[in-house]
Amino acid sequence: GIRLAGLFDPSYGAIEFIHKHTPGINTASHSVGLYCSTVLFGTLAWIAKFIMMRYVLKLLLSYHRWLYEAHGKLSRMTKMWFMLIRLYGGSKPLLMSYQASLPKLSVPSIKETVNSYLQSVKHLMTQDKYKEVEKLADEFSNGIGKKLQRYLILKSWWATNYVSDWWEEYVYLRGRSPIMVNSNYYGMDSLLIRTRPVQVARAANVIYAAIKYRRELDREEVKPLLISGVIPLCSAQYERQFNTTRIPGIETDKLIHLKDSNHIAVYHNGRYFKVNIRHKHRFLKPCELEVILQKIIDDGSTPADGEEHLAAMTAGERIPWAKARNEFFSKGKNKISLNVIEKAAFVAVLDTEPHEYDPEDPSKLDRYGKALLHGKGHDRWFDKSFTLVFFSNGTIGFNAEHSWADAPIMAQLWEAVASEEIHLGYDKDGHCRGTPECQPPNPVRLEWEINKQCQQVIQTSLNVARSLLNDVDLHIMMFQEFGKGLIKTFKVSPDAFIQMALQLTYYRLEKHFCLTYESSMTRLFLEGRTETVRSCTEGTCDFVRAVDENKPKEECLKLLKKAADVHQCLYRDSMTGKGVDRHLFCLYVVSKYLGVDAPFLTKALSEPWKLSTSQTPHQQTDRLDLNKYPDRINGGGGFGPVTDDGYGVSYIIACEDTIFFHISSKKSCANTDSHKFGATLKKSMCDMSDLFKK
Tell me the mean pLDDT in the region 571-594: 97
Give pLDDT, residue 72.
78
pLDDT (tens digit, 9 = 90+) per residue, 190-219? Answer: 998 877 899 999 999 999 999 999 999 999
Q: Collapse the DSSP code of 321 into the 3-class scheme (helix H, G, I; strand E, B; otherwise coil) and give the result.
A: helix
Quick one: what percent of the chain has pLDDT higher than 70?
Answer: 94
Q: Collapse the DSSP code of 11 into the 3-class scheme (helix H, G, I; strand E, B; otherwise coil) and give the result.
A: coil
Please state, in angstroms and rounded to a whole number, the distance separating the CA atoms of residues 418 and 396: 11
Give pLDDT, residue 33.
66
Give pLDDT, residue 8.
57
Tell me the mean pLDDT in the region 93-122: 96
- For residue 571, CA distances in Å to 226, 400, 568, 688 come to 18, 25, 5, 21
Nearest to 479 by CA among 652, 603, 316: 652
DSSP structure class, residue 646: S
Name the burial class of residue 35, with classes exposed (0-12), middle (13-18) and buried (19+) by CB atoms within 10 angstroms of its CB. Answer: middle
| Cα 52–Cα 55–Cα 56 angle in degrees, nearest 5 | 85
Work out whether the CA dihedral 496, 497, 499, 500 comes out positive or negative: positive
Judged against a pLDDT cut of 70, whether residue 327 lies above it is answered with: yes
Structural domains of the chain, with CATH: 14-101 (no CATH), 199-470 (3.30.559.70), 472-576+609-694 (3.30.559.10)
Confidence grade of residue 7 (pLDDT, cut at 50, 70, 90): low
Judged against a pLDDT cut of 70, whether residue 61 lies above it is answered with: yes
DSSP structure class, residue 176: -
Please state, in angstroms and rounded to a whole number, the distance separating the CA atoms of residues 179 and 31: 69
* Amino acid (1-letter code) at residue 376: K
Give pLDDT, residue 462.
98
Of the two residues 300 and 91, the one the predictor is more confident about is 300
Give pLDDT, residue 312.
98
Interacting residues of 583 by C-beta distance below 8 A, sequence separation 6+: 107, 108, 113
DSSP structure class, residue 229: T
Give pLDDT, residue 410.
97
Judged against a pLDDT cut of 80, whether residue 394 lies above it is answered with: yes
Give pLDDT, residue 280.
87
Nearest to 240 by CA among 412, 103, 384: 384
pLDDT (tens digit, 9 = 90+) per residue, 263-278? Answer: 999 999 999 999 999 9
Give pLDDT, residue 25.
65
**What is the bridge-based pairing of β-strands 226-227 and 647-655?**
unpaired
Give pLDDT, residue 5.
46
Give pLDDT, residue 49.
66
Tell me the mean pLDDT in the region 574-584: 97
Interacting residues of 499 by C-beta distance below 8 A, sequence separation 6+: 516, 518, 535, 540, 567, 613
Q: Half-sphere exposure of 486 toward its Cβ, with a 13 Å CA cutoff?
A: 17
Quick one: what percent of the chain has pLDDT higher than 90?
Answer: 84
- For residue 411, CA distances in Å to 418, 462, 522, 620 come to 11, 29, 17, 8
User: In residues, how long is the chain?
Assistant: 694
pLDDT (tens digit, 9 = 90+) per residue, 237-255? Answer: 999 999 999 999 999 999 9
DSSP structure class, residue 619: -
Sheet holding 263-268, edge to edge: 444-445, 271-276, 263-268, 347-350, 386-390, 396-400, 185-188, 637-639
pTM of the predicted model as reported, rounded to 2 decimal places: 0.93
Tell me the mean pLDDT in the region 273-299: 96
| Cα 354–Cα 355–Cα 361 angle in degrees, nearest 5 | 120
Dihedral (Cα; 543, 545, 549, 550), 10-degree rounding = 20
Across all residues in the chain, what is the average pLDDT?
A: 93
Give pLDDT, residue 18.
64
The string over 122-153, giving b where at least 16 C-beta atoms fall within 10 Å of a residue's C-beta and e elsewhere, is eebeeeeeeeebbebbeebbeebbeebbebbe
Give pLDDT, residue 3.
46
- For residue 387, CA distances in Å to 242, 347, 377, 443, 475 come to 11, 5, 13, 18, 22
Confidence grade of residue 1 (pLDDT, cut at 50, 70, 90): very low
Please state, in angstroms and rounded to a whole number, the distance separating the CA atoms of residues 180 and 131: 39
Judged against a pLDDT cut of 90, whether residue 20 lies above it is answered with: no
pLDDT (tens digit, 9 = 90+) per residue, 422-466? Answer: 999 999 999 999 999 989 999 999 999 999 999 999 999 999 999
Q: Which helix H or strand E contains 397, and what residues bound it?
A: strand 396-400
Question: CA 89 from chain center: how many Å?
Answer: 25
Judged against a pLDDT cut of 90, whether residue 383 lies above it is answered with: yes
Among 46-55, 73-82, 557-566, the range scoring the smallest mean pLDDT is 46-55
- C-beta of residue 148 within 8 angstroms of C-beta of residue 598: yes
Please state, in angstroms and rounded to a whole number, the distance separating the CA atoms of residues 238 and 405: 8
Give pLDDT, residue 101.
93
List beta partners, residue 72: none
Judged against a pLDDT cut of 50, whether residue 139 lies above it is answered with: yes
Confidence grade of residue 2 (pLDDT, cut at 50, 70, 90): very low
List beta partners, residue 245: 256, 384
Helix H segments across 108-250? 110-121, 127-141, 144-158, 164-166, 199-218
Judged against a pLDDT cut of 80, whether residue 603 lies above it is answered with: yes
Confidence grade of residue 39 (pLDDT, cut at 50, 70, 90): confident
Q: Would you please indicate which residues are annotated as catalytic (active-site) residues?
A: 402
